Amino acid sequence: MKFQPFLLLFFVPSLIFAQEHSHTSSRTIAFPDVPGYKTLKTDLHQHTVFSDGNVWPTIRVMEALRDNLDVISLTEHLEYQPHAADIPHPDRNRSFNLALAEAKDHELLIVHGSEITRGEPIGHNNAVFIQDANKLLNDKAETTFAEAKKQGGFIFWNHPAWYAQSPKGTPILSDFQKERIKNGELHGIEVINTGDYAEESLAIALENNLTIMGTSDIHGLIDWDYVEHGHDRPITLVFAKEKTEASLKEALFAGRTVAVFNSLLVGKEENLLPLLNASIKFKKAKYIDNTTILEVTLKNVTSSDLIFENQMPFTFYSSSPVFTVPAQGTKTLKIKVLEKAIDLPIKLKALGAYIAPKEHPIVTWNLKLEE
């Protein structure tokens, strides 16, 4: 017993150290896999002190681990270097290399990326999966985009509705973007950037078969800019065959994505419907004794509140036709089916989701009912 204080002193610091490096958090972002694919949680637009951000690259890795992300990219501005007097760095790959070293003992993919920063009509664009950011520094934007393509880059248009570039807050698809799309040098577009959802950007994505993206574009701390305001960071869910860089790249070029910000989900119908279908599990489906009222409990397995509206021919007992299944929570519905059946399609419109401007998907689950 005389050695007990010594043992406590020895073990307690070790426990504290382990806790500090566990990167666990109550704000974990969670979404289910869908049939045939793994759902990768990604944030492919972030900044550090190596462009105009306020943190060291290692912090971005730690934040991503706390948020349970699968993939990040530090997309430093190539041309805009406001910290150059304090952090002069001729190597535009430096941020990526520091993040890569920090993530080496974790299952977090670090994708090499940079932001091409030009005035209108070119705007800001991210190139990810590049090999050497230094080779993207060119006077002519056309040369930079061609080099990004040569390196195998996936290029997406950042915040096209940003009022600093488009005073009306409406993205304009210029001849420059049209030429890049034609040349295979523009593959995606942000429909969600920070807290802004631009349905005009969604329209451009659908009209031009561009991959739908959502990103945090974080410059400060995720905690300060998002969590303290009650928000999760915006992300892109990518439906990939495996959790590998090659599979991620294939999925992005194929357009298998959904952009997410809190309870807002935006994507093509073929991507959103499987996600929504997998996001709700049915914990109970049973008729109340001596009635034709079906009691159904829905479990939301995601970190986003999911908002639905009844689309069935049946009404609810003691419940609004519009309801929310809270993140990681449940909602019990009492459905007045009038006549008992063994099989019943549950048909709901997902009001927090968009497959086109002002258009919500309708999801159907086929239930096998208890007697």
Report the C-alpha gap between 224 and 234 in whole angstroms: 14
* pLDDT > 90 fraction of the chain, expressed in percent and rounded: 84
Cα dist. 280→233, 303, 307 in Å? 22, 12, 11
SS3 for 155?
strand
Sketch the domain layout of the chain as residue ranges: 28-262, 275-368
Phi, psi dihedrals of residue 26, rounded to the nearest 5°: -80, -5
The answer to whether 182 and 222 have CB atoms below 8 angstroms apart is no
pLDDT of residue 13: 41
Q: Could you report the per-residue pLDDT of 24-77, keeping only the tens digit for each?
A: 556 799 999 999 999 999 999 999 999 999 999 999 999 999 999 999 999 999
Q: Which two tokens stand for residue 363?
A: 């999801």
Q: Which CATH architecture has domain 28-262?
A: Alpha-Beta Barrel (3.20)
28-262 and 275-368 agree in CATH topology = no
Q: What single letter denotes the amino acid at residue 81?
A: Q
Q: Could you report the per-residue pLDDT of 288-343, keeping only the tens digit for each?
A: 999 999 999 999 999 999 999 999 999 999 889 999 999 999 999 999 998 888 88
Phi, psi dihedrals of residue 294, rounded to the nearest 5°: -90, 125
Tell me the residue ranges of DSSP E strands in 88-218: 109-117, 124-128, 154-157, 188-193, 196-197, 211-215
The answer to whether 300 and 330 have CB atoms below 8 angstroms apart is yes
The answer to whether 210 and 187 have CB atoms below 8 angstroms apart is yes
Q: Could you report the per-residue pLDDT of 188-239, keeping only the tens digit for each?
A: 999 999 989 999 999 999 999 999 999 999 999 999 999 999 999 999 999 9
Q: Is 79 left (phi over 0), alpha (psi -120 to 50) or beta?
A: alpha
Q: Which two tokens stand for residue 240?
A: 């990939």
Topology annotation, domain 275-368: Immunoglobulin-like (2.60.40)
Q: Which two tokens stand for residue 345?
A: 């399609």
Length in residues, the chain = 371
CA Rg value for the chain = 23
